[in-house]
Amino acid sequence: MYNCSAATSYGMKKRIIARLDIKGPNVIKGIQLECLRVMGKPDDLAQEYYQQGADELIYLDTVASLYRRDNLLNIVKQASENIFIPFIAGGGVRNINDIRSLLSAGAEKVAVNTAATKNPELIRQAAKIFGSQCIVLSIEAKQVAPGRWEAYVDNGRQRTGLDVIKWAKQGEKLGAGEILLTAVDRDGMENGLDNELIKKVTEAVSIPVIASGGAGSPQDVVECVKKTNVDAVAVGSILHYRKFGMADIKSELKKEKIAVRQTVNFSTKQNKTGQKYDIKNYNKYTMRHLTGVTGLAANKIRTEDAPARFKEEYPKGSADLGVIDYKINNVRSVLRAFQKLGKKVAIVETPEEFDEVKTLVLPGVGAFGEGMKALKKAGLIESIKRQVMRGKPILGLCLGMQMLFFESEEFGRNKGLDLIEGNVVSFKPVNKIKLPDYKLPHIGWTKISAVRRNKTTLLSGIKTPADVYFVHSFFSQPKDRSIILANAEYGGQKFCAVVQKENIMGTQFHPEKSGEVGLNILKQFCKIAKI
């Protein structure tokens, strides 16, 4: 039995994730990944679970090879329109370019499965370019003997010959930052998660693990969290069938003194506790919902789902804000967040375009060295420095904040923009911190606490402590501690979460994925920049 309440002592919270399995234009759900039923449209359900208070979303394209290659990409882009929490995207991810495209479209993390089993080096290559925190190893596990599970691919249809526990360890060694563990035998059965499997995997690795498959009630989630060292639980059936909502699950966890993110349920839909479905005739449910929640036939794709909808998704020209695109960052989600605030935003990729915007935003989801290499290749380093020295406000987000500093120790010594004096360092190794839930990368919702505030800081009007979303293994150490606006704590290590040095500002977390708190921080940046 794990002491789950210990998480509160150093900031980590258990995450409850909504899982959306995709087939063509629809969210589907099955029994042991078979007998698929249509549940609704991805954007409808994603919006619903966001309003309920989901901590993250997972999108998995179950038949990516049979449909358009851009199907998942468009779904992720659509999600970034109005959903400001993190999402993982996976299914049909074959190479580095696929990962880059999904991150640019708005995903925080990308799940790899089949391609990684065929070419494990893909994990190492992806982690080096994008950072371990972006790469999720998806494992579909089937029990083959007592205490033994084999990894499958192709939605649980094809054997790989890989032992699940050994494959999880190898994935961590190669650089995966998180594991999505699906118990195929339990999927859709709603008779509880495979806690024996989950316990073995979480004890074998020191990276976060998301458990999926089998949750039929909030009590099942509680039991999993209490019996294993899992970091997050992904649920599908009980949400899709509206048997329980996010609030029900989190309420049950809180009763057991298990730390979870406090959320407000804005959904107007009612649960249907105890609702039954006929496994022998699942088409009854499918057809009823095609004319209910979705209002569309299963084989129809909405006009706005087509690539044409995103034809002008990256505006250019004069604007209030210029989001710097250096090809390994999540520009779309940042763009949409500022547009949500009513600001005119442009994507800037050249030094000439910097002059056309009033402020600069430097987002990032990759590794420090690769980020700086990409800025250098685009010829942007000196231009960024010149614009900032002239007094133009700049906001660095996650990796973008780290690159504002002098140097990072990630994958060797790498020079940064040197706009803030200080270095970027790693959290202490897992074997040095004797806490049950301490794992690296640091992924999830953690409270920030203000240490300095006045009328002209990023945190003015923001009530702290407040939960925001982090995904990182490194953090910045400013030499001048007076520029630190807020700290956070993980594994007993206090670290800098927000900085402000005159017109130079940064957040170690992703405000564009931190719900209303994050949007309010972005709004405050606009006030400071007078736009």
352 part of the active site: no
Of 235-239, 354-358, 453-457, where does mean pLDDT reach its minimum?
Answer: 453-457
Residue 115 lies in a domain: yes
pLDDT band at 314 (very low <50, low <70, confident <90, very high): confident
Looking at 271, 305, 339, the residue that finishes a domain is 305
Q: Is the pLDDT of residue 432 over 70?
A: yes
Q: What are phi and psi of 466, to 5 degrees?
A: -145, 140
> Do 323 and 261 sit in the same domain of this protein?
no
**Distance of alpha carbon 370 from alpha carbon 160, whole angstroms:** 32
- Of 230, 223, 174, 226, nearest to 198 by C-alpha is 230
Q: Which amino acid is at 54?
A: A
The answer to whether residues 250 and 355 belong to one domain is no
Percentage helix, strand, coil, to 5, in the chain? 35, 30, 40
In this predicted structure, what is the pLDDT of residue 36?
78
Does residue 410 sit in the same domain as residue 289?
no
Any idea which of 101-105, 248-252, 476-480 has the lowest mean pLDDT? 101-105
User: Would you call 150 a catalytic residue per the annotation?
Assistant: no
| pLDDT > 60? residue 328 | yes
Other beta carbons within 10 Å of 394: 24
DSSP structure string for 299-344: T---GGGSGGGGTT-S--SSEEEEEE--SSS-HHHHHHHHHHTT--
Residues 123 and 179 in one domain: yes
pLDDT tier for residue 224 given thresholds of 50, 70 and 90: very high
Query: With 70 as the cut, is the pLDDT of residue 524 above it?
Result: yes
**131 in any annotated domain:** yes
pLDDT of residue 312: 55
- The answer to whether residue 3 is domain-embedded is no
Report the pLDDT averaged over residues 249-257.
Answer: 97
Confidence of residue 148 (pLDDT cuts 50, 70, 90): very high
Q: Which two tokens stand for residue 322?
A: 């210029």
Q: For the chain, how many residues are written? A: 531
Please compute, for residue 140, the number of CA atoms within 13 A of its CA located in the half-sphere on the CB side: 25
User: What is the maximum alpha-carbon separation in the chain?
Assistant: 69
In a domain, 49, yes or no: yes
Q: Measured between alpha carbons, how far is 524 from 2 in angstroms, rounded to an integer?
A: 40
**Judgement on whether residues 274 and 296 belong to the same structural domain of the protein:** yes
Please indicate, yes or no, whether residues 275 and 392 belong to a single structural domain of this protein. Answer: no
Compute the C-alpha angle 339/473/60, nearest 5°. 60
- The DSSP line for 346-388 is EEE-SHHHHTTEEEEEE---S-HHHHHHHHHHTT-HHHHHHHH
Last residue of a domain, one of 247, 271, 305: 305
The number of beta carbons lying within 10 Å of the beta carbon of residue 226 is 16
Among 305, 332, 356, the domain-final residue is: 305
Summarize the confidence of residues 175-188 as an average pLDDT: 96
pLDDT band at 67 (very low <50, low <70, confident <90, very high): low
Whether residue 338 is found in the same domain as residue 301: no
* CATH code of the domain containing 83: 3.20.20.70
- Least-confidence region, from 35-39, 318-322, 407-411, 432-436: 35-39
Please report the pLDDT score of residue 284 as a whole number: 42
- Would you tell me the crossing angle of helices 71-79 and 42-52 to the nearest 10 degrees? 40
Does 310 score more than 80 pLDDT?
Answer: no
When divided into structural domains, the chain yields a total of 2
What distance in Å separates the CA atoms of residue 213 and residue 218, rounded to the nearest whole number?
Answer: 13
Inside any domain, residue 46: yes
Give dist(CA 345, CA 358) in Å, integer.
Answer: 10
Per-residue model confidence as pLDDT tens digits over 341-382 = 999 999 999 999 999 999 999 999 888 999 999 999 999 999
**pTM to 2 decimals?**
0.91
Options 21, 43, 56, 190, the catalytic residue: 21
Cis preceding linkage at 465, omega within 30: yes
Q: Is 347 part of a structural domain of the chain?
A: yes
Catalytic residue, candidates 48, 140, 231, 252: 140
Structure-token match 């949500």, residue found: 340
Are 340 and 257 part of one and the same domain? Answer: no
pLDDT band at 243, cuts 50/70/90? Answer: very high
Q: Which domain holds residue 99?
A: 9-305
Among residues 462, 445, 453, 447, the alpha carbon closest in space to that of 494 is found at 447
Give the model confidence (pLDDT) of 85-133 as tens digits: 999 999 999 999 999 999 988 999 999 999 999 999 999 999 999 999 9
Tell me, yes or no, whether 199 lies in a domain.
yes
Tell me the helices (H) and strands (E) count for the chain, helix number first: 17, 25
We report the CATH number of the domain holding residue 357 as: 3.40.50.880
How far are the Cα atoms of 18, 150, 203, 325, 496 from residue 227, in angstroms, in the given order? 21, 22, 12, 44, 33
Average confidence (pLDDT) over 462-482: 96
Question: Are 320 and 346 contained in the same domain?
Answer: yes
Asked if 32 and 166 sit in the same domain, the reply is: yes
Predicted confidence at residue 353, as pLDDT, reads: 97
Note the pLDDT of residue 304. Answer: 42
Q: Flag the least confident range among 28-42, 49-63, 124-138.
A: 28-42
Q: Shortest CA distance to 102 belongs to which of 73, 132, 131?
A: 73
> Is the domain of 299 the same as that of 332?
no
- Give domain status of residue 254, yes or no: yes
Rounded Cα–Cα distance for residues 480 and 187 (Å): 51
pLDDT at 437: 87
